[in-house]
Amino acid sequence: MFEDEDFIAVDENLIDPDDDVDDLMELGPVNWRRVGEIPALLDADGQLHIFSGAIEPNDIKQGEIGDCYFLSSLAALAERPDRIRDMFLEREASKHGIYGATMYKNGVKMTVVVDDLIPCKGVDGDRVAFARSNGAELWVVLLEKMWAKLHGCYDRIAGGLEYETIRDLSGAPGYFFSGIEDDAFEKIFEFDELHYMMGCSMSDSYDQELAEQQGIVAGHAYTLLSAA
2 lies in some domain: no
Q: Which residues of the chain have pLDDT under 70?
A: 19-26, 205
**Whether 171 and 127 share a structural domain:** no
Question: How many separate domains does the chain show?
Answer: 2
One-letter amino acid identity for 136? Answer: A
Query: What's the pLDDT at 22?
Result: 59
Query: What's the pLDDT at 68?
Result: 92
Among candidate residues 109, 137, 157, the one where a domain is terminated: 157
Query: What's the pLDDT at 82?
Result: 96
**Whether 141 and 172 share a structural domain:** no
pLDDT in tens, 163-203: 999 999 999 988 887 777 778 888 888 888 888 888 887 77
Query: What's the pLDDT at 182?
Result: 75
Query: How many Cβ atoms are within 10 Å of 40's Cβ, its own excluded?
Result: 16
Q: Using only the alpha carbons of the chain, give its radius of gyration.
A: 18
Q: Cα(13)–Cα(91) distance, rounded to whole angstroms?
A: 26
- Full domain range(s) for residue 179: 163-224
Query: What's the pLDDT at 220?
Result: 73
**Whether 68 and 170 share a structural domain:** no
82 lies in some domain: yes
Q: Cα(190)–Cα(46) distance, rounded to whole angstroms?
A: 45
Among candidate residues 134, 157, 180, the one where a domain is terminated: 157
DSSP string, 87-108: TBS-SS--TTSEEEEEEEETTE
**Whether 114 and 181 share a structural domain:** no
Q: Residue 147 in contact with residue 130, Cβ under 8 Å?
A: no
Q: Cα(101)–Cα(132) distance, rounded to whole angstroms?
A: 17
Query: What's the pLDDT at 23?
Result: 61
**Whether 26 and 106 share a structural domain:** yes
**Whether 33 and 111 share a structural domain:** yes
3 lies in some domain: no
**Whether 24 and 126 share a structural domain:** yes
Among candidate residues 137, 157, 177, the one where a domain is terminated: 157
Query: What's the pLDDT at 20?
Result: 61
**Whether 182 and 84 share a structural domain:** no
**Whether 134 and 25 share a structural domain:** yes
Phi, psi of 192 (to 5 degrees): -65, -40
One-letter amino acid identity for 162? Answer: E
Q: Cα(27)–Cα(71) distance, rounded to whole angstroms?
A: 19
Query: What's the pLDDT at 21?
Result: 57
